[in-house]
Amino acid sequence: MSVAGSSDGRDDVLAVGIDVGGTHLRAGRVGASGVVGPVLRRRSEVDDADALLGALVAVLEELGEGPGAALPVGLGMAGLVDREGRLRYGPNVGVREVPLAALLRDALGPGRVVRVVNDASAAVVGEHRVGAARGHDDVVLLTLGTGVGGGVVVDGRLLEGAHGFAGELGHLIIHAGGRDAPSGVRGTVEAYTSGSAIARESEEAVAAGVADARALDAPGVLAAATTGERWALDVLERVGVRLGIAIASIVSVLDPSIVVVGGGAGDAAASFLLPPARDTFARDLMGAAHRPLAPIVAAELGDDAGLIGAGLLAADAAAGAAVAGGTS
């Protein structure tokens, strides 16, 4: 569920937010309480840098925020994005080493504030400011989709790391030498808890001769579980257990006050994944009986989390630039 600001208008508008995934991009105006007005959904162009830039400019023009406009622009992009806004690499996108922030600034005109971050980093800011983690200053977000993204807020601020690459929680190794993943690293959280992993679990159930099992994609497995098919319920339970194992390791390092699980697969399958994840987390967390257990909760903002967070980060950047320039 998205949080909305004013329905028409621009009174609460702070920035434009864009979220680019491997298949679609979403864009809209963002205010302090969330999305303001309509959200545009378009097919993303992630295999060619010129096509990607063209798609970004085109969606901004559709919103009336193209070249010559003034609102800051925030972009959440799937992959490794450095502190200068360069997309360095993404296992699920084709473009590499593209200075997105600089190219977008050039395309939009002088003085335009542009902030580019990883898409899950943008999403954790959205959930922290206006979503499931409101009121918490130490937050972990896991987004379960085709892959698994992650974002971290520490002391109320996005954790970016020395180079901007912090928070890649989906690439933590939980089974050395285990399943392969698009990143090329075997045995990662992504390999065992993503939507793709759910589909793979169904294939393995068929190969193992599990009664009534069918090789389905993640929505198909979820549909089967919803109607009570035992094999599908078992698949989602196994994925939830592995999610709990990953969360126990993450909490041992970061000690958040809340863990949020979102993303397409995470949102859709939360009622099946989160109960076993919570049980496993409580079992495997070091010193669990002697410390507060961070609640593991479903995300609230759905597909809008990334564009909301990206827009709010762009608004922060614009405010910081104004202060630095002595204009506020």
The token pair at 42 is: 């378009």
Rounded CA-CA distance 301/77 in Å is 17
| CA proximity to 4, closest of 26, 32, 42 | 32
Q: pTM of the prediction?
A: 0.93
- Span 208-249, pLDDT tens digits: 999 999 999 999 999 999 999 999 999 999 999 999 999 999
Name the residue with higher pLDDT: 94 or 257: 257
- The answer, yes or no, to whether residue 328 has pLDDT greater than 60, is no
- Span 56-114, pLDDT tens digits: 999 999 999 999 999 999 999 988 999 999 999 887 788 899 999 999 999 999 899 99
The token pair at 290 is: 């002697």
* Contact indicator for 210, 228 with CB cutoff of 8 Å: no
- The answer, yes or no, to whether residue 3 has pLDDT greater than 70, is no
| CA proximity to 210, closest of 193, 229, 197 | 229
- Span 128-178, pLDDT tens digits: 999 999 999 999 999 999 889 999 999 999 999 999 999 999 999 999 999
